[in-house]
């Protein structure tokens, strides 16, 4: 394969960025829609079947179009989809209120901070190891060049991910502080304590894959976890996955750990004073964070872009011919696992109540951290002994 020039590398990276951002901004609204539908079905209703408001304005026009659409039997179920567009329109067009006594600059920067930190994590995630696709020869300027499955192949990718993701907490804390209001302050403080606490078991549970694979690079880790671990590696992987998922729920402020925005206690938590697209940024950031957490779980524990989770693929591959389609990595598997995990998020939200704040903290410090440490020990044992 030809070696790309500097200009060509930059162009390829830009294309990758666009693709990832596209992926994020396709998955996030669909998650929002899926949340409505899945919650609806959990609660024995249909979920969203129409656009926000009645007969007038843009949404009215959309609604009228959709009633026509709805005459087609299967499509009638999906009439809520344009509601996503309407939601975005609403967020953009809404008046942007800044409280009079807020710290204006911090108030402004906070949503951007949480949004940026959420998106940037994707740089280190590789959707598929090695080459994702190769530009066809006729492509102007880039013909024949390969595009890899991740934007940046960082050799300390995990550190990068953890580091950047934990910047997101600043967004929430600063939002709570800058609003100069009591409920957001409580929400911001809660989230500071909660996220700092849960970073610990989260990082420790992610250390198990590091120990098992001996790498910090996302792609390498994913590959070794999927195909390179022994049968004994199954145990720390499953435990690690459960601990990681629990911490992931807490990190993304989802039920049962949605302390910072516990609606029934703190009205809306840290974003009580936010409106318009600033609120929209927090909203997007939450869903992007969910996707990130799901992507990490999929990559490290569920076999990444291979079919089988928990290192089972490595065991099965010994029985399969080396060039079998299901023996190899495919981006579709990775995305499917992300989607399954996103579904789990919604599923849990529809099923269980919310913890109390002090209980959330005790879950982290009394149960999850010891468990994660034991799991790390187990992983080390597996690594050394087997």
Partner 1 sequence: MFKNEEMEINLGPQHPSTHGVLRVKLRLDGETITHCKPVIGYLHRGVEKICENQTFFQGQVWTDRMDYCSAVANNLGWAEANEKLFGITVPRRAQYIRTLLNEFNRLASHLIWLATHALDIGAMTVFLYAFREREDILDMNEAFCGSRLTTTAFRIGGLREDMPPGFEKMARKFLAKFPTCLEEYENLLSENRIWKKRTVGVAMLSAEDAIALGVTGPVLRAAGVPYDIRKAFPYAAYAEMDFEVPTQTAADTYARYLVRMAEMRQSARIIQQCLDGMPEGPVMAKIPKILKPEVNEVYHATEAPKGELGYYLVGEKGSTNPYRFHVRAPGFINLQSLPKMAEGGLIADIVAAIGTLDIVLGEIDR
Which residue in the set 37, 224, 271, 349 belongs to the binding site for partner 1 (CB under 8 A)? 349
Contact between 353 and partner 1 by CB under 8 A: the answer reads: yes
What DSSP string describes 85-123? HHHHHHHHHS-----TTS-HHHHHHHHHHHHHHHHHGGG
Give the interface segment with partner 1, choosing from 25-33, 158-166, 252-260, 284-292 (CB under 8 A).
252-260
User: CB under 8 A: which stretch of 137-145, 236-244, 289-297, 344-352 binds partner 1?
Assistant: 344-352
Q: Is 231 in the site for partner 1 (CB under 8 A)?
A: no
Contact 351, 307 (CB under 8 A): no
List 61, 182, 340, 386, residue binding partner 1 (CB under 8 A): 182
Q: 3-state class of 146 per DSSP?
A: strand
Q: Which is nearer to partner 1, 271 or 383 (CB)?
A: 271
Residue bearing tokens 């911001």 = 188
Residue 42 found at the interface with partner 1 (CB under 8 A): yes
Residue ranges of alpha helices (H) inside 5-103 are 6-42, 57-69, 73-76, 82-93
DSSP type of residue 145: -
Give 38 or 154: the residue with its C-beta nearer to partner 1. Answer: 38
**In whole angstroms, how close is the CB of 169 to partner 1 at the nearest point?**
18
> Where does this chain touch partner 1 (CB under 8 A) — which range of 149-157, 198-206, 229-237, 253-261?
253-261
- The yes or no reply on residue 265 touching partner 1 (CB under 8 A) is yes
Q: Which is nearer to partner 1, 95 or 358 (CB)?
A: 358
248 vs 311, beta carbon nearer partner 1:
248
Instruction: Find out whether 113 and 168 touch, Cβ atoms under 8 Å.
Output: yes
Closer residue to partner 1 (CB): 224 or 349: 349
Contact residues for 101 (Cβ-Cβ < 8 A; gap 6+): 180
3-state DSSP percent of the chain in helix, strand and coil, to 5: 70, 5, 25
| x/- map, 183-212, partner 1, by CB under 8 A | x--x---x----------------------
Spatial separation of the C-alpha atoms in residues 79 and 111, rounded to whole Å: 31
Residue closer to partner 1 (CB basis): 257 or 300: 257
Question: Looking at 150, 188, 233, 256, which residue binds partner 1 (CB under 8 A)?
Answer: 256
Residue 258 lies near partner 1 (rule: CB under 8 A): yes
Q: Which stretch, 95-103, 180-188, 281-289, 292-300, contacts partner 1 (CB under 8 A)?
A: 180-188
Using the minimum distance from each CB to partner 1, give the nearer residue, 104 or 356. Answer: 356
Distance in Å, CB of 248 to partner 1, minimum? 17
8 Å CB contact between 78 and 50: no
Query: Could you say which of 95, 264, 318, 323 contacts partner 1 (CB under 8 A)?
Result: 264
**Cα(237)–Cα(300) distance, rounded to whole angstroms?**
9
Please name the residue that has the structure tokens 């050799």.
155
**Is 354 an interacting residue with respect to partner 1 (CB under 8 A)?**
yes
Phi and psi at 179, nearest 5°, equal -65, -20
Residue 228 burial (10 A CB sphere; 0-12, 13-18, 19+):
middle
Sign of torsion, CA 211 215 217 220? negative
Q: What is the distance between the alpha carbons of residues 311 and 169, in angstroms, rounded to a whole number?
A: 32
Of the listed pieces 37-45, 170-178, 206-214, 299-307, which binds partner 1 according to CB under 8 A?
A: 37-45
* Two tokens, residue 338: 């992300």
The residue (of 167 and 268) whose beta carbon lies closer to partner 1 is: 268
Using alpha carbons, select from 181, 174, 187 the residue that is nearest to residue 269. 187
* Residue numbers at the binding site for partner 1 (CB under 8 A): 39, 42-45, 182-183, 186, 190, 255-256, 258, 262-267, 349-359
């Amino acid at each position: 394969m030809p070696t790309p020039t500097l200009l060509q590398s930059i162009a390829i990276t830009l294309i990758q960025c666009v693709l990832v951002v596209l992926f994020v901004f396709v998955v996030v609204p669909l998650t929002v829609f899926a949340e409505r539908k899945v919650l609806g079905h959990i609660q024995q209703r249909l979920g969203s079947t129409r656009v926000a408001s009645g007969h007038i304005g843009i949404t009215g026009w959309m609604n009228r179009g959709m009633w026509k659409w709805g005459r087609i039997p299967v499509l009638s179920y999906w009439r809520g989809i344009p509601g996503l567009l309407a939601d975005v329109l609403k967020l953009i067009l809404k008046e942007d209120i800044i409280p009079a006594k807020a710290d204006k600059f911090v108030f402004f920067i906070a949503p951007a901070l949480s949004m940026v930190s959420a998106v940037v994590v994707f740089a280190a995630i590789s959707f598929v190891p090695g080459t994702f696709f190769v530009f066809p020869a006729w492509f102007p300027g880039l013909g024949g060049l390969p595009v890899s499955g991740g934007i940046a192949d960082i050799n300390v990718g995990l550190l990068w991910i953890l580091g950047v993701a934990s910047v997101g907490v600043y967004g929430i804390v600063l939002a709570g502080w800058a609003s100069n209001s009591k409920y957001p302050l409580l929400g911001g403080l809660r989230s500071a304590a909660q996220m700092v606490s849960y970073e610990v078991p989260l990082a420790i549970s992610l250390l198990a894959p590091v120990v098992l694979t001996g790498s910090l690079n996302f792609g390498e880790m994913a590959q070794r976890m999927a195909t390179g671990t022994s049968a004994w590696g199954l145990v720390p992987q499953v435990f690690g996955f459960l601990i990681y998922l629990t911490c992931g729920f807490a990190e993304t402020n989802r039920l049962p750990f949605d302390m910072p925005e516990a609606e029934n206690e703190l009205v809306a938590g840290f974003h009580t004073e936010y409106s318009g697209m600033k609120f929209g940024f927090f909203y997007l950031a939450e869903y992007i964070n969910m996707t990130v957490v799901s992507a990490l779980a999929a990559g490290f524990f569920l076999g990444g872009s291979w079919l089988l989770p928990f290192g089972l693929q490595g065991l099965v591959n010994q029985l399969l011919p080396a060039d079998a389609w299901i023996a190899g990595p495919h981006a579709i598997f990775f995305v499917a696992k992300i989607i399954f995990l996103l579904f789990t998020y919604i599923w849990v939200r529809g099923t269980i109540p919310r913890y109390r704040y002090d209980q959330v903290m005790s879950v982290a410090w009394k149960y999850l951290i010891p468990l994660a440490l034991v799991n790390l020990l187990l992983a080390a044992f597996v690594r050394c002994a087997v």
